[in-house]
Amino acid sequence: MIATDEPRLGGPLVAGVDVGGTKTSIVVIDDRDRVLYEHVTPTDRSALVGQIVGLVDDARRRLGQDVAAVGVAIPGHVDPEDGSVSLAVNLGVTRLRLGPMLETELGVPIFVEHDARAAALWLSEQAAHGAAQASASVAFLAIGTGISAGVVLDGALLRGDNGLAGEVGHVVADPDGMICACGLRGCLETIAAGPAIGRQADEMMTAGRSSVLAPHSSAADVFRASSAGDEVAIEITDRVAVHLARAIRSLALTLGVRRVVIGGGVAAAGAALLEPIQSSIARERAASPLAEAALGDATVELLSPTEAPGARGAAAIARHRIGLPEREGVGER
Ligand SMILES: [Zn+2]
């Protein structure tokens, strides 16, 4: 937990909370986008609302100042208009009226957004503040307990008429694969999400393969073992990379994006994740002029594990929404 700068100099504060399958982050920013407070804690799936209320109240107490609004980033089918979230399969949420419940508890305006979309929005804004020729489109590929993409296309957040644009974690990767938490078979998540990576190591060792890995290893353990030359781990990480490279190709081909940023807990593996993905993309480019056209000048980068893009994006959305006379603009399609 840190508190930096001078909290009272920055005008009205807003908080951003990112509820992940494994951990929940909060940031508080001032009107100059400076982070005054941040904290990360394991997600309490049995008490999501209570946990968010507690995190915001702790931040208020620590800063000695109220927040004017709270943005909440969460996976699943999110309706930003009524603040509801449903089908968050990795959180066990069937349907939750999250925004109204938090508004009652916290007494400030609450803005709920899909986690990867909030992150993509933040990345897009950061790019716009940086280079003069920043790309107007970006896909943020979140790989953690689940997998999904948030997409900003030509400067606008892509939601889709069905509200599910970017849910690449549930496109089919192996038609004969495992049943996914969503009920479908062989989704990308059953191969390349964090829990699936550990599960594959267990399966291979149960089948008699020898490995330095202990039972119930995490994705991070598997990537470390892969870097150290463990054959089982290398087989898994290569398979994961091939499937993620295909997902990136799909994003490039269906949406036309040239910038893909990978984040989420699995991205903490760093080069052990990125290098095999880039090798796989290079093989696709060499094999196909079409893949070369789609991916030749694309950048695929990893977000630093210290960044909290979902929470920053949620805070940015809250700031924009209370700052605008009408509920339009950033955060809207
Ligand atoms: Zn699925």
Q: Quick: pLDDT tens for 249-258.
A: 999 999 999 9
Number of residues in the chain? 333
Q: 189: CA distance to ligand 1 center in Å? A: 6
Flag whether pLDDT at 61 surpasses 80. Answer: yes
Flag whether pLDDT at 327 surpasses 50. Answer: no
Flag whether pLDDT at 7 surpasses 50. Answer: no
pLDDT-derived band at 92 (thresholds 50, 70, 90) equals confident
Q: Which of 276, 249, 246, 273 is nearest to 262 (CA)?
A: 273
Q: Quick: pLDDT tens for 222-274.
A: 999 999 999 999 999 999 999 999 999 999 999 999 999 999 999 999 999 99
Rounded mean pLDDT of 26-54? 95
Q: 89: CA distance to ligand 1 center in Å? A: 9
Q: 42: CA distance to ligand 1 center in Å? A: 23
Residues of the chain with pLDDT > 70, as a percent, come to 92
Q: 247: CA distance to ligand 1 center in Å? A: 14
Q: Looking at per-residue confidence, does 324 or 117 come out higher?
A: 117
- What pLDDT is recorded for position 136? 82
Q: 65: CA distance to ligand 1 center in Å? A: 42
Rounded mean pLDDT of 286-306? 92
Rounded mean pLDDT of 51-71? 97
Q: 187: CA distance to ligand 1 center in Å? A: 5
CA 122, 125, 129, 134 torsion: positive or negative?
positive
- What pLDDT is recorded for position 333? 37
Flag whether pLDDT at 4 surpasses 80. Answer: no
Integer Cα distance of 67 and 31 in angstroms: 11
Q: Quick: pLDDT tens for 295-304.
A: 998 999 999 8
Pinpoint the alpha helices (H) of 130-255: 189-192, 194-206, 219-227, 231-255
Rounded mean pLDDT of 276-292? 95
Q: Report the alpha-carbon angle 299-304-310, nearest 5.
A: 95
Q: 135: CA distance to ligand 1 center in Å? A: 30
Q: 166: CA distance to ligand 1 center in Å? A: 13
Q: Quick: pLDDT tens for 167-210.
A: 999 999 999 999 999 999 999 999 999 999 999 999 999 999 99
Q: What is the mean pLDDT of the chain?
A: 90
Q: Quick: pLDDT tens for 132-174.
A: 555 689 999 999 999 999 999 988 999 999 989 999 999 999 9
Residue 198: is it exposed, middle or buried by C-beta count within 10 angstroms (0-12/13-18/19+)?
buried
Residues of the chain with pLDDT > 90, as a percent, come to 80
pTM of the full predicted structure? 0.88
Please compute, for residue 105, the number of CA atoms within 13 A of its CA located in the half-sphere on the CB side.
18
Flag whether pLDDT at 329 surpasses 50. Answer: no
Q: Quick: pLDDT tens for 100-116.
A: 999 999 999 999 999 99
Q: 149: CA distance to ligand 1 center in Å? A: 14
Q: Are 318 and 14 in contact (CB under 8 A)?
A: yes
Q: 123: CA distance to ligand 1 center in Å? A: 26
